[in-house]
Amino acid sequence: MSRILITSALPYINGIKHLGNLAGSMLPADVYARFMRARGHEVLYICATDEHGTPAELAAAKAGQDVRTYCDEQHLIQKSAGESFGLSYDWFGRSSSPQNRQLTQMFCEALDRNGLIEERVDKMVFSIDDGRFLPDRYVEGTCPHCGYEKARGDQCDNCGRLLDPTDLKNPYSAVSGSTNLEVRDTRHLYLLQTKVEDRLRAWIASHDNWPHLAKSIANKHLDEGLIDRGITRDLAWGVPVTKDGQPRPGFENKVFYVWFDAPIEYIAATREFFDAKGKPDGWQTWWRLDQGAEDVSYVEFMGKDNVAFHTVSFPATILGSGEPWKMVDTLKAFNWLNWYGGKFSTSMNRGVFMDQALELLPADYWRWYLIANSPESSDSSFTWEQFQATINKDLNDVLGNFVNRITKFTEGKLGGGVPEGGEAGPIEEKLYGDVAEQLAEATEALETMEMRKAAQAVRRIWVLGNEYLQEAAPWTAIKTDPARAGVIVRHALNLVRLNAVLAQPFMPFSAEKIAATVGASLPLAWPSTDIRAELDKLVTGQTVAAGEILFSKVEDEKVAEWTQRFGGADA
Ligand SMILES: Nc1ncnc2c1ncn2[C@@H]1O[C@H](COP(=O)(O)OP(=O)(O)OP(=O)(O)O)[C@@H](O)[C@H]1O
Ligand SMILES: [Zn+2]
């Protein structure tokens, strides 16, 4: 048994997450966590809301709330949406927690002691009417690159370029709309990443095992050359800046930049978890190499835009602290799940969001679709037609059909019990081999976090079930050779059980229902490679009950209705 620490990129607090967020971080992390638990490992799956930064302040202002109240509410909304989707976090924390404040301040002070923090004077946009600086998204204006008139101080949503607030032409305050702005000097802390560059390079080079996308983005950022990063902002909402445990002189009205404290929340959230359990030191065995974390295997999941922060900025913080922290072992990154070729967008309300998705269909339908079409090797596009096809074929025609057919047959023709007696024949021998091959592929793909590949192999096992029934034809055998029919039905019912086991990471709610048809209950251990034994697990005589319908088809009218409601291709 190993200890496996899993984090998914922290969902930002400004509203409920869309299917893209789910596909690119939380869901694959959950599949991996569930798989590793089924393998018998000790898993700690940590996530949290990312609550600092200007978008949170602006969203709160728009909602007419103070930012703390806004975050309190939004955190609960995201927490419950995650639960409804079956995201099995061991802890879903908050980057605004006292634990994160303390750790963030501690990291900065350690970096400072090691000569890696420098005060520098920056030029920043100041709003005379608002009486404040306008960092990041507090200032909007015309993009100097593409001429888009609603570009934000940190990035242009039209051309995607990263910007500095002072780059904008015709700037105005996002708070008041005022154009009465001037550029003023302001003092900020810089993390001297250039001084840890050698250590960073060596650390990244020692991680040949990272999946391709993460590795290539990490190397691209190294090749472009590291720069020192401003890690504070002129804001009130965030982690206050300290020196020797006291407010840092000259920084009383400043806080850390959100990307400085957000990844530290992975550690802080673990601490929140153990504090809540009344074991305040427990977090250290996961994060401190001097406190027993050497044997932890740490995997991070995220969308591609987050890779640089996890391969360069956060590691620079950790390495620079000079302390024995656990660092990431494997980093799994995802491309974009697009909405009809365009972007899902929270700020523009484009796409399907987690709460809406569950109004339409159960969580497992979305989970299966998003994993089977995971944006792994390239971007992928959500369309209602493809979604409908996946649900109708995979879940209804293949899996649902198999389970339903054999459980109904057992109820109708065999008195509703797992039949005994008889010997496996050549068709069963072939089945063992075929299932073993696909199972090995699914297991390996899940180990290496190749989500699409894993889903395909699992789907092939569903297909093998249908093919087996077709070939072995228990409905014919029962008329002439009841013992033979018993062998076939017993194998098929055991395959139903096996499918429940394999469905656990992908579709936990359906896995439970499938297991129940053959009297099994979750959690079920991941299968061994001995397929003959795996297909002989059910006790003979065990009651079989087809139960409620597993999946329903998505009708054309629904696709038309949802396309209308969510905009589809015209959005
Ligand atoms: N369309 C997408 N496809 C895949 N992953 C995505 C997509 N959009 C965001 N992500 C990932 O989701 C995770 C959480 O993102 P976050 O809450 O910060 O939203 P975001 O990136 O600001 O998205 P948006 O701007 O649409 O709100 C991040 O790892 C991010 O890379
Ligand atoms: Zn632009």
Residue 160 has pLDDT above 80, yes or no: no
Ligand 1 close to Cβ of residue 374 (< 6 A): no
Is 47 within any annotated ligand binding site? no
Higher pLDDT, 154 or 3: 3
CA angle (380 as vertex; 376, 386 as ends), nearest 5: 125
Residue 225 has pLDDT above 80, yes or no: yes
Is 346 within any annotated ligand binding site? yes
| 237 and 288, same domain (yes or no) | no
Helix (H) or strand (E) holding 124: strand 117-127
Residue 1 has pLDDT above 90, yes or no: no
Residue 150 has pLDDT above 70, yes or no: yes
| 180 and 50, same domain (yes or no) | no
Ligand 1 close to Cβ of residue 379 (< 6 A): no
- Which of 341, 343, 268, 264 has the alpha carbon at shortest distance from 305? 343
Q: How many domains does the chain have?
A: 3
Torsional sign, CA 485, 486, 487, 491: positive
Ligand 1 close to Cβ of residue 78 (< 6 A): no
d(CA 571, CA 569) in angstroms, rounded, equals 6
> What are the tens digits of pLDDT across the range 203-215?
999 998 899 899 9
Ligand with the closest atom to the CA of 51: 1
- Per-state percent for the chain, helix, strand, coil, to nearest 5: 50, 15, 35
Ligand 1 close to Cβ of residue 336 (< 6 A): yes
Torsional sign, CA 291, 37, 23, 222: positive
CB 329 within 8 A of CB 322: no
| 202 and 317, same domain (yes or no) | no
Is 448 within any annotated ligand binding site? no
Residue 557 lies inside a defined structural domain of this protein = no
Largest pairwise CA distance in the chain: 92
Instruction: Please report the atom of ligand 1 found closest to the CA of residue 339.
Output: 1
Residue 562 lies inside a defined structural domain of this protein = no
> What are the tens digits of pLDDT across the range 527-547?
999 999 999 999 999 999 998
Q: How far is the CA of 20 from the centre of ligand 1 (A)?
A: 6
> What are the tens digits of pLDDT across the range 281-324?
999 999 999 999 999 999 999 999 999 999 999 999 999 999 99
Is 159 within any annotated ligand binding site? yes
Peptide bond into 249 cis (omega under 30): no
Return the CATH number at 391.
Answer: 1.10.730.10
Ligand with the closest atom to the CA of 346: 1
Residue 350 lies inside a defined structural domain of this protein = yes
Helical residues (DSSP H) of 373-481, grouped into ranges: 384-390, 401-413, 426-447, 451-472, 474-480
Q: Which stretch of 260-264, 279-283, 457-461, 567-571 has the lowest confidence by average pLDDT? A: 567-571
Instruction: Please report the atom of ligand 1 found closest to the CA of residue 302.
Output: 29
Q: How far is the CA of 145 from the centre of ligand 2 (A)?
A: 5
Q: Which two tokens stand for residue 109?
A: 């002070």
DSSP E strand boundaries for 223-295? 229-230, 232-233, 242-243, 246-247, 255-256
Q: What is the pLDDT of residue 158?
A: 82
Ligand with the closest atom to the CA of 155: 2
Ligand 1 close to Cβ of residue 305 (< 6 A): yes
Ligand 1 close to Cβ of residue 21 (< 6 A): yes
| 8-state DSSP, 477 | H
| 328 and 299, same domain (yes or no) | yes
| 224 and 271, same domain (yes or no) | no
> CB atoms < 10 A from the CB of 245, how many?
9
CB 37 within 8 A of CB 510: no
Residue 571 has pLDDT above 70, yes or no: no
* Among 213, 247, 281, residue at a domain's last position: 247
Q: What is the pLDDT of residue 569?
A: 57
Q: How far is the CA of 50 from the centre of ligand 1 (A)?
A: 12
Instruction: Please report the atom of ligand 1 found closest to the CA of residue 346.
Output: 27
Return the CATH number at 198.
Answer: 2.170.220.10
| 427 and 527, same domain (yes or no) | yes
Ligand 1 close to Cβ of residue 35 (< 6 A): no
Q: At what angle do helices 54-62 and 67-84 cross, to 10 degrees?
A: 100
Residue 252 lies inside a defined structural domain of this protein = no
Question: Ligand 2 is a single-atom ion; what residues have CB below 5 A from it?
Answer: 143, 145-146, 148, 156, 158-159
d(CA 177, CA 246) in angstroms, rounded, equals 36
d(CA 104, CA 241) in angstroms, rounded, equals 9
Domain hosting residue 441, numbered range? 383-534
Residue 568 has pLDDT above 70, yes or no: no
| 95 and 194, same domain (yes or no) | no
Q: How far is the CA of 543 from the centre of ligand 1 (A)?
A: 46
Residue 570 has pLDDT above 70, yes or no: no
* Among 201, 220, 247, residue at a domain's last position: 247
| 62 and 118, same domain (yes or no) | no
| 392 and 513, same domain (yes or no) | yes
- pLDDT category at 164 given cuts 50, 70, 90 is confident
Q: How far is the CA of 153 from the centre of ligand 2 (A)?
A: 11
Instruction: Please report the atom of ligand 1 found closest to the CA of residue 12.
Output: 17
Ligand 1 close to Cβ of residue 12 (< 6 A): yes
* Among 196, 221, 247, residue at a domain's last position: 247
Q: How many residues does the chain have?
A: 571
Q: How far is the CA of 261 from the centre of ligand 2 (A)?
A: 28
Q: How far is the CA of 563 from the centre of ligand 2 (A)?
A: 30
Residue 10 lies inside a defined structural domain of this protein = yes
Q: What is the pLDDT of residue 393?
A: 98
Q: What is the pLDDT of residue 434?
A: 98
Q: How far is the CA of 149 from the centre of ligand 2 (A)?
A: 8
This complex has an ipTM of: 0.95
Q: How far is the CA of 376 from the centre of ligand 2 (A)?
A: 27
| 65 and 141, same domain (yes or no) | no
Q: How far is the CA of 303 from the centre of ligand 1 (A)?
A: 6
d(CA 107, CA 257) in angstroms, rounded, equals 13
> What are the tens digits of pLDDT across the range 20-58?
999 999 999 999 999 999 999 999 999 999 999 988 998
User: Which whole number is the average pLDDT over 369-398?
Assistant: 97
Q: What letter represents residue 401's amino acid?
A: N
The protein residue with its alpha carbon nearest to ligand 1, atom 22, reads 12
| 439 and 351, same domain (yes or no) | no
Q: How far is the CA of 87 from the centre of ligand 1 (A)?
A: 17
Residue 369 lies inside a defined structural domain of this protein = no
> What are the tens digits of pLDDT across the range 170-199?
999 998 999 999 999 999 999 999 999 999
- Mean pLDDT (the chain, rounded): 95
d(CA 372, CA 176) in angstroms, rounded, equals 45
Ligand 1 close to Cβ of residue 334 (< 6 A): yes
> CB atoms < 10 A from the CB of 68, how many?
13
| 388 and 527, same domain (yes or no) | yes
The DSSP line for 134-192 is --GGGEEEE-TTT--TTEESSB-TTT--B--GGG-EEEEETTT----EEEEEEEEEEE-
> What are the tens digits of pLDDT across the range 6-19?
999 999 999 999 99
Residue 563 lies inside a defined structural domain of this protein = no
Residue 246 bridge partners (DSSP):
243
Backbone phi, psi, residue 306, to 5°: -95, -5
The protein residue with its alpha carbon nearest to ligand 1, atom 18, reads 12
Instruction: Please report the atom of ligand 1 found closest to the CA of residue 306.
Output: 31
Q: Which two tokens stand for residue 17?
A: 């997450």
Ligand 1 close to Cβ of residue 306 (< 6 A): yes
Is 108 within any annotated ligand binding site? no
Instruction: Please report the atom of ligand 1 found closest to the CA of residue 18.
Output: 26
Residue 559 lies inside a defined structural domain of this protein = no
Ligand 1 close to Cβ of residue 337 (< 6 A): yes
Substitution candidate for ligand 1 out of 21, 337, 339, 350 with most atoms within 8 A of CB: 21
> What are the tens digits of pLDDT across the range 319-365?
999 999 999 999 999 999 999 888 898 878 899 999 999 999 999 99
